[in-house]
Structure 1
Amino acid sequence: MSTKTETKQYQMYINGEFLDSKSGEYISVYNPSTEELISQVPSCTVEEVQEAIDVAEQAQKQWKKKPASERAKYLTALAEEIRKNKEFLARVISEEQGKVLALSTTEVEFTADYIDYMAGMARSYEGEILQSDRPNENIMIFKEPIGVVAGFLPWNFPFFLVARKAAPALVTGNTIVIKPSSETPNNALEFAKLVEKVGIPKGVFNIVTGRGGTVGDKLASSEKIGLVSLTGSVNAGVSVMKAASDNVTKVSLELGGKAPAIVAEDADLDLAVKAIVDSRIINSGQVCNCAERVYVHESIAGTFTTKIVEAMKKVNFGNPLEEENLDMGPLVSKQALESVEAMVNQAVLEGAQVLSGGKRADRETGYFYEPTVLINVKQDSEIVQEEVFGPVLPILTFKDLDEAIKLANDCQYGLTSSIYTQNLDTAMRAANELLFGETYINRENFEAIQGFHSGRKKSGIGGADGKHGLEEFLQTHVVYLQHNPNKK
């Protein structure tokens, strides 16, 4: 049984100070496992968003002058503070977002590692010197910070995404104003406390809390913002692009996904089942690069389906702060639960057969949905074409690799994909013909810090991570230097 906790009161973070909003209004945050109110955060005004942008613009003038290696020292200290507070931060994440404690702990550890990685890039990002067509001339390409970055965070990996936006921004000499999701703002404001503790200069890192219609629109439409970096839904991405378009502001968008998993005739079925289940139930299926649909060769469909149903039925779920040995927690909100429920119900109405789950979990409180496997679904159905963002796995069959690749590519999204096969030719053909930003071969869907997480089609523009992700936060300045070697 849950124990009622005291409602926390958080403040936004602007110019190195924690502040209440002059609006006097607050956004309530609830625990998705218990449905209890756990905190309130300020619903800031347009004027307060403008203040955050203004101080970030002023701070950037001095911040960019610091050597990158000096900026990196602040990040290294921040990563160390995150590790020191690992257990506390993990509980904050699990309380407001619902992911299991082990995954929240991994998120915190991965965040610290990510910050260290980006700090390590301080001495390795570089410009170029080009050959000129003229005598006595050098052409130099400098890589410079863009200015003020607006970072929009999702609710599914909220703590890590603070670092994914802020670490590359800061190490390259930008400053940042972050808008966390209204579903999960607590962890970002705890992150800000550590920013203050390590002494990152005032105005370099700012957090404003509030609704997208107020905070988001103001950030994205500001002429003082040099880059808008958003992780979220397609609708959110489209809204940001429209708002940014008046100033032709650069955008970097990581949006939705509908990742196909192809299981070839020669696949290691035990490996495929484990990897696909892991890629479906992680964070209760609320991950943009999760395996969202499976295409299995018709000759092994029966065996594969039996194995994956057994595996999904063994998935343990519950309240991550009160129960142990869990594989997943609740969905993030009542709205999320209702959305998943509606999509599965619609699939059933269209002829889908439920082999496991297919309904809300029988619990007194919380937004829990049972791990679900569906067959007899159609390629053009909503459950196959649209992002579910829940622990639901539709399974379809194919006759040959041509058909599998065609079906996998038949989607408006293009973020991640996967294939399970022992045949190198099959693997390489899929890698060359799947129209996705990432393809995982014989492993679960989870990207690396040094990779490049990017999507195609409606899955986004630009990308994150690694040296290519760092480039998102830089702009070029070409200098043509004509000199006279004879002049004394």
Structure 2
Amino acid sequence: MTKSIQVTNPATGELIREIPADTEEEIHQALKRGHEYFQEWRKVNAHERSRLLKAWSEKIQNNKETIAEVMTLESGKPIQESLGEVNYATSYIDWYAEEAKRLYGRTIPAASETKRIIVSKQPVGLVAAITPWNFPAAMMTRKAAPALAAGCTFIVKPAEETPLTTMKFIELAYEVGIPESAVQVVNGRGSDVGPLFTASDFVRKITFTGSTPVGKSLIKNSADTVKHVSMELGGHAPLIVAADADIDVAVDQTIASKFRNAGQTCICANRVIVHDSIAEEFAKKLTEKVKRLKVGNGLEKDTQVGPVINEKGYDKIVSQINDAIDQGAEVLCGNQYHADKEQGYFFVYPTVLQNVDVGMKIMHEETFGPVIPITLFKEIDKAVEIANSTPFGLAAYFFTNNYKVGAYLHDYLDFGVIGWNDGAPSAAHAPFGGMKESGLGREGGVEGIEPYLETKYLSVGL
């Protein structure tokens, strides 16, 4: 196991902080503490758990600027996006602070006068979470908040690239009185910590946001102890622009979806599928606006697109762009870079490609970068065919003012999250999750607390 983790600024390559990685024994002891304290935490009444969660949210908001700066330093995202993520993160805490008091059971009419049937809910136990670097605050709270609200204890391993935001959140949880054994953080490489989580008899649930290959491995390794699993995995989101769409709305929402966090989100538009009758106008208006996006260090307040997180991500983006160009795609803007592998910073300027076809890598691989490939369609069923031609099914978007077309697309797009004339559909009060190889379970909404609960059935003889 690695002994330490170096956290660097992806905009400059500079070392921010070096933190110790937890040893195997330290992780085992943390899991043991969480498992043992579960028997105490589950007894805390729902109103008290709700109060503590609300206090945690308020404490985070009181430290919002400091947290946002840390987030930008370690992730590279623009400071305004970091501030927005703090709000997004606390929205999950606020929502589940209320849901803690809504964990209702029910009675069922019995088929006999001498029986009563009662159904109740109880927490699953210790929950182990593994979270990604791109949303270090929100991806943690939308797991921790429902777990703690349900009466579970919780332990999280944040991404090696961005552990500092999570560590600050956990520190603030302790300051408002959430017990240290109820919510914990451990640090280390995913390849080291993941197997410890899945093999542990103390852990009753694994929740993960990240790549599909890693998610599949966690599911397989959790089978030996039959753990509950929730998986929010990879995506390859299509964005369909129908012939009758409001082009200005479609352009603005495409930019909002695609370039948040430099295109490094699981639900950003990866394939833009435009009706050929409006393709020229759409591409022209899109390119004009994309060219005006400000690229730079996320700490500069006017920055709209920050750096790519690391060399691996950078190489993948460049490879996809070059493959598309080699096969005939035309660059409308972008295909420019500011990177230094020795210094450790990687900027890709927002890029728009047209004349893209389904044979290119960018149409089959999740990009995770600021690149828009445009492909065309004539019939709406062909657009659906292109959109669904992927093993992934996390998010999709479409733009139309025709309710019949909209209803058709809603019915036949195989994706768990869909935006209709909306490039930013995520919300704490709505269920988020994917179909097919994009995951299992939902986060957010009333559905988001169910994976942290067991259903117990009691039959009473009178």
Fold equivalence (TM over 0.5): yes
Indicate conservation of the 8 Å contact 1:153/1:232, yes or no: yes
Query: 1:109, 1:65 → 2: CA distance?
Result: 30
Q: Does 1:384 align with 2:369?
A: no
Q: Which is further off, 449-458 or 125-134?
A: 125-134
SS at match of 2:348: coil
1:393: which partner in 2?
372
Counterpart position of 1:330: 307
Cα distance in 2 between the residues matched to 1:294 and 1:202: 46
Q: Distance in 2 between matches of 1:44 and 1:202?
A: 16
Equivalence for 1:29 = 7
* Superposition map of 1:174-185 within 5 A: 174-185=152-163
Q: Counterparts of 1:401 and 1:291 in 2: how far apart (Å)?
A: 18
Q: Which residue of 2 aligns with 1:10?
A: none
What SS does the corresponding residue of 1:368 show, helix, strand or coil? Answer: strand
Question: What is the CA distance between 1:110 and its match in structure 2?
Answer: 1.8
Normalising by structure 1, we get a TM-score of 0.92
Q: Which amino acid aligns with 1:308?
A: L
Counterpart among 350, 356, 369 of residue 327 in structure 2: 350
Deviations 1:136-161 (A, max 9, x none): 21111111100000111000001111
Query: Where in structure 1 do 4 or more consecutive aligned residues deviate above 4 Å?
Result: 362-365
Is contact 2:399-2:421 (8 Å) kept?
Answer: yes
Between 333-342 and 409-418, the greater mean CA deviation after superposition? 333-342
Q: Does 1:310 align with 2:288?
A: yes
Q: Give 3-state SS (helix, strand or coil) of 2:205's partner.
A: strand
Question: Which position in structure 2 is the counterpart of 1:54?
Answer: 32
Q: Is the CA contact (8 Å cut-off) linking 1:416 and 1:445 kept in structure 2?
A: no
Distance 2:450 2:412 in 1: 26
Q: Distance in 2 between matches of 1:450 and 1:142?
A: 23
CA contact (8 A) 1:221 1:244 kept: yes
For each residue in 1:173-212, what CA deviation from the matched residue of structure 2 results, as whole angstroms up to 9, or x when unmatched? 0001100000100111111210121111231001010011
Query: Which of the residues 390, 397, 408 maps onto 1:418?
Result: 397
State which of 186, 198, 201 in structure 1 corresponds to 2:176: 198
Could you say what secondary structure the match of 1:445 adopts?
Answer: coil
- Judged with a 3 Å threshold, the aligned counterparts in structure 2 of structure 1 residues 365 and 223 are, in CA distance, closer, same or farther, namely closer
Aligned partner of residue 472 in structure 1, secondary structure: helix
Paired AA for residue 34 in structure 2: A
Match of 1:71 among 37, 49, 56: 49
Q: Which residue matches 2:213? A: 235
- Mapping for residues 127-276 of structure 1, pairs under 5 Å: 127-276=105-254
1:342, 1:298 → 2: CA distance? Answer: 27
Paired residues of 1:289 and 1:445 also in contact (CA < 8 A): no
Cα displacement (A) at 1:365? 7.0
Return the alpha-carbon distance in structure 1 between the equivalents of residues 191 and 381 of structure 2: 45
- Correspondence for 1:7: none
Taking structure 1 as reference, are residues 314 and 171 closer, same or farther at Cα in structure 2, changes over 3 Å only?
same
Give the letter for the 2:194 counterpart.
G
Tell which deviates more after alignment, 365-374 or 246-255: 365-374
Residue matched to 1:296? 274
Would the alpha carbon gap of residues 55 and 374 (structure 1) be closer, same or farther in structure 2, given more than 3 Å must change? same
The total of aligned residue pairs comes to 460
Is contact 1:53-1:224 (8 Å) kept?
A: yes
Structure 1 gap ranges (5+): 1-22, 484-488
In structure 2, C-alpha distance between the alignment counterparts of 1:127 and 1:304, rounded to whole Å: 52
d(CA) in 2 for partners of 1:193, 1:202 = 9
Q: Answer yes or no: is the 8 Å Cα contact 1:94–1:101 preserved in 2.
A: yes
1:95 aligned partner: 73
Structure 2 distance, partners of 1:399, 1:81, is 53
Distance 2:344 2:393 in 1: 36
Deviation at 1:332, TM superposition (A): 1.1
- What secondary structure, in the 3-state scheme, does the structure 2 residue paired with 1:140 have? strand
Corresponding residue number in structure 2 for 1:461:
440
State the AA in 1 paired with 2:9: N
1:286 aligned residue (254, 259, 264): 264
Question: What code does the residue aligned with 1:472 have?
Answer: P
- 2:21 corresponds, among 43, 51, 59, to 43
Match of 1:368 in 2: 347
Q: Kindly state the Cα deviation for residue 223 of structure 1 after the two structures are TM-superposed.
A: 2.0
Q: 1:24 to 1:400 in 2, by over 3 A?
A: closer
Query: Residues of 2 paired with 1:448 and 1:208: CA distance?
Result: 28
Paired position in structure 1 for 2:454: 475
Cα deviation for residue 324 of structure 1 reads 2.6
Q: Secondary structure at the match of 1:388?
A: coil
Provide, for residues 24-68 of structure 1, a one-character-per-residue CA deviation record: whole Å limited to 9, x for no partner. 921101100010011112222221111111000111101001111
Structure-2 separation of matches of 1:362 and 1:116: 40
Deviation per CA, 1:49-100: give whole Å up to 9, x if none. Answer: 1111100011110100111111111111101100110000000000000110
Q: Which amino acid counterpart does residue 341 of structure 1 have in structure 2?
A: V
- Distance of 1:411 and 1:178 partners within structure 2: 31
Point out the more displaced range, 275-284 or 371-380.
371-380
1:441 and 1:263 mapped to 2: Cα distance? 10
Cα distance, 1:254 vs. partner? 0.2
Distance 1:62 1:372 in 2: 53
1:314 deviation in Å? 1.0
Does 1:105 find its partner at 2:79? no
* SS of structure 2 residue aligned to 1:121: helix
Q: Which runs of no fewer than 5 residues in structure 2 stay unpaired?
A: none
How many Å apart are 1:112 and its aligned residue? 1.8
Amino acid at match of 1:162: M
